Structure 1
Amino acid sequence: MEQVAAGITQLRIQRFVNLYFVETGEPGEWVLIDTGLPGSEGTIKKAAAKLFGDESKPKAIFLTHGHMDHAGSALALAEYWQVPIHAHALEMPFLTGRAVYPPADPTVGGSLAFVSRFFPPQSFQFDGHVQALAPDLHEPPFMPGWQCIHVPGHAPGQVAFFRHQDATLLGGDAFATTDHDSVPAILLGLPRISRAGTPITFDWQASWQSVAKLAHLRPNAIGCGHGPVMRGPHVADELLEFATHFPIPKHGRYVNHPARTDENGVEYLPPAPPDPLPAQLVLAGSVAALVASAVWWSSRRRVRTTQHEWAL
């Protein structure tokens, strides 16, 4: 665990997913922001007990958005602690089983895009547990001194949380604090302001605007959904530089034509571009089969030759 700022602790799950324990200002009271991947509830409970005591529980769970690496353990924790889950209204279709997020784009490039071909459809059923947040809330429930800011692009109802008192930003996946397109950077936790979830970002112009909105807050401490905590006077300049030269990918399904969503889920999906990998795998498999056949026939021929020589 690592402290982001006073009363805010980052917990990293499986080396690349972050969540946050945020004290509310009242002694022993706190909220949980994001919940990691499915099956993370045990680790989160142990961390909460270490920070606040065995019998402590949050006032609420807040989700920056409903992707699996942020909402994966939300239901298990909400049922265990008997507390509500809060998320933006535009996330409700995906958190109540009425819709599935736009599919990942494996053609956008990068290591994460490669493995995104195997991501399952993302949707949850939190009916009876999840409540909708109004956008751009000053002082969301149980979080005095904080602002909840709507930052779409990566997810329709993604939000970030900003504490004006000390310029602390919890950015969700509006951006990342490590290079998300580099497996070594993710595993080593190398600090660098970067794009978050390239193959899962469905609206690049909205994502750019969201980063610019957060950059103009001039944060002094940053914790995101992925990557290490970044602190100090330099981080505001780095985020502003990143926003000024925001690196939209050169190609991909959602680069020129975003998916469109509304309160009911996905309204429009641009056509999927051809994915070269399946054809490449078929070609590689065919070549491997031919090589294996050639090796087999060659070995059979050598055996026959040896048997003939022994017979003579």
Structure 2
Amino acid sequence: MELTQVTPAIWQLAFPVGHVHFVRLPDGFGLVDTAMPGSAPAILDALARLGGRAQDLRQIVLTHSHIDHMGSAADLVEATGARVLAGAVDAPFIRGTAPEPQPVHTAPERALHEQIVAGFSEAYGQPLKHVAVDVELYDGGSIEGWGEPVQVLHVPGHTPGSIALHLPSSGVLFPGDIVATAQGRAILGPFNVDRQQAIASFRRLASLEVEALCVPHGEPVLKGASEVLRAATPEKDWV
């Protein structure tokens, strides 16, 4: 799996579905999302390439509850002892104590979803394991231990409890699935439980001052991310 350096302290590990991001912390590493079930060996291999050991993974931040984001969290916790952080509203879905709301697809989204699910069945045979959430995150909160301020934003619409992480000092944004990229553009992520709410969350993220955009789907934006976000037209995507 390819590692792309986004900043001196952040790397994207690209997967066919659901990229993950490593963050170098003062005392180890953090991970944003965990890809599909069965991805833990590739993630641990990438951690080793970055000079880390399994026990150096301190935190796993899940931007939301979908299988391509929380899919390998339980295996990684077992292998590393890392703590899991997630949005408070999505925490019951991640723990498996409440059923996850289903997205409302537009016609183009339905066709894409059928294509992706067919690929899932061929490439991923492992079942989803739920995992304990150690820290519930709320809008306006922060994450400790990153060596710089990390602002938590509740950005509902893709799931009820989706979160984004904004690092204002280094100008980095982890938007979760509210934002994807395609052909150099920022677009609304598909498969939302509430499309209008997702568009509002996209617009909130586009109001931030951001240099680098770390998306789970698509290529990262390494510079000028604010301009890319503000040029987007999420209202016209997936219709």
Is 1:85 paired with 2:84? yes
Change (3 A) 1:56 1:208: same
The normalised TM-score by structure 2 is: 0.86
Pair 1:76–1:123, CA change in 2 (3 A): closer
Q: Report the counterpart of residue 177 of structure 2 in structure 1.
A: 173
Aligned residues of 2:88 and 2:136 also touching (Cα < 8 A) = yes
Preserved CA contact (<8 Å) 2:35 2:68:
yes
Match of 1:156 in 2: 160
What residue number does 2:226 align with? Answer: 236
Q: Which amino acid aligns with 2:221?
A: M
Cα distance in 2 for partners of 1:117, 1:51 equals 32
- 8 Å Cα contact 2:103-2:194 kept in structure 1: no
The 3 A distance-change label for structure 1 pair 216 and 78 is same
Secondary structure at the residue paired with 2:131? coil
Deviation at 1:12, TM superposition (A): 0.6
Residue 210 of structure 2 is matched in structure 1 by 219
* 1:191 equivalent in alignment to 2:184: yes
In structure 2, the residue matched to 1:97 is 96
- Percent sequence identity is 29
Q: Which residue of 1 aligns with 2:114?
A: 114
2 CA distance for matches of 1:145 and 1:107? 37
Aligned twin of 1:271: none
Q: Determine if contact 2:60/2:73 at 8 Å carries over to the other structure.
A: yes
* In 1, Cα distance between equivalents of 2:150 and 2:104: 34
Aligned positions of 1:291-306 closer than 5 A: none
SS in 2 for 1:201: coil
**Distance (whole Å) between structure 2 residues aligned to residue 58 and residue 173 of structure 1:** 23
1: CA distance, partners of 2:85 / 2:54: 22
- Provide the rounded CA distance (Å) in 1 between the counterparts of 2:164 and 2:129: 21
CA drift of 1:63 comes to 0.4
Provide the C-alpha distance between the structure 2 equivalents of 1:150 and 1:4, rounded to a whole number of angstroms. 23
1:201 aligns with 2:192: yes
> What SS does structure 1 have at the residue aligned with 2:57?
coil
Distance 1:54 1:117 in 2: 33
The CA RMSD measured in Å over matched residues stands at 2.4
Select the structure that is richer in strand.
Answer: 2
Alignment partners' CA distance in 1, 2:28 and 2:116: 38
Q: Give the aligned length.
A: 229
Structure 1 residue 123 displacement after superposition = 7.3
Q: Which amino acid aligns with 2:202?
A: V
Structure 2 residue ranges without an equivalent (≥5): 122-126
1:154, distance to aligned residue in structure 2 (A): 0.4
Amino acid corresponding to residue 215 of structure 1 in structure 2: A
Deviation at 1:163, TM superposition (A): 1.0
Match of 2:124 in 1: none
1:142 aligned partner: 145
1:262-312 deviation line (CA, Å, top 9, x unaligned): xxxxxxxxxxxxxxxxxxxxxxxxxxxxxxxxxxxxxxxxxxxxxxxxxxx
Provide the residue aligned with 1:8 in structure 2: 10
- How much has 1:147 moved relative to structure 2? 1.0
Q: 2: CA distance between counterparts of 1:133 and 1:23?
A: 20
**Which is higher, the Rg of structure 1 or of structure 2?**
1
Q: Per residue, is there more helix in 1 or in 2? A: 1
